[in-house]
A = this chain, B = another copy of it.
């Protein structure tokens, strides 16, 4: 059996580890969605949820709401357009901006998801996290806030001389 070094190395590999767990959770969530035959990607749901909650949003606002860069949001909204779940029109007061809203089909999908899949996924993940020794969601919020407040580069608690000179 091969040692899981990402797990073993703990804080050193926390970034890789969080991504890994995130991908597995997204893959598992995708299975639940596929079983329901909804024809949507797990990563697309947060966009629909954002519009559902806030009404029509611009590409930039959607990028912020979901926490990715603007080109990433542009691509995913393009996919949702092709799938017919959203509509897009230029903002009346500023033609640079485009407003993305739910189409009838998207509205239907969101209403259905809120009634069925979303509670199912949320409950399954809550079950997975049920025995954890701490409030994982708050802890993740603290990590995100902590990174925003003070990036790693500015955190250094290593005592002694810093070997910042370049290797070889």
Residues of B within 8 A of A151 (CB): 28, 31
Whether A152 pairs with B31 at a CB distance below 8 angstroms is yes
A122 CB within 8 Å of chain B: yes
Whether A19 pairs with B26 at a CB distance below 8 angstroms is yes
A3 CB within 8 Å of chain B: yes
For A38-55 the 0/1 string (1 means CB < 8 A from B) is: 100011011001100110
Whether A162 pairs with B120 at a CB distance below 8 angstroms is yes
Determine the residue in chain B with the shortest Cβ distance to A139: B132
Known: A11-B129, A49-B5, A144-B21. A124 touches B163 (CB 8 A): no
Q: What is the copy number of this chain in the assembly?
A: 2
Within 8 A of B (CB), among A113-154: 113, 115-116, 118-129, 131-144, 146-147, 150-153
Within 8 A of B (CB), among A1-54: 2-26, 28-29, 31-32, 35-38, 42-43, 45-46, 49-50, 53-54
Which residues of A does B touch, CB under 8 Å? 2-26, 28-29, 31-32, 35-38, 42-43, 45-46, 49-50, 53-54, 57, 61, 64-68, 105, 108-109, 112-113, 115-116, 118-129, 131-144, 146-147, 150-153, 155-158, 162-164, 166-168
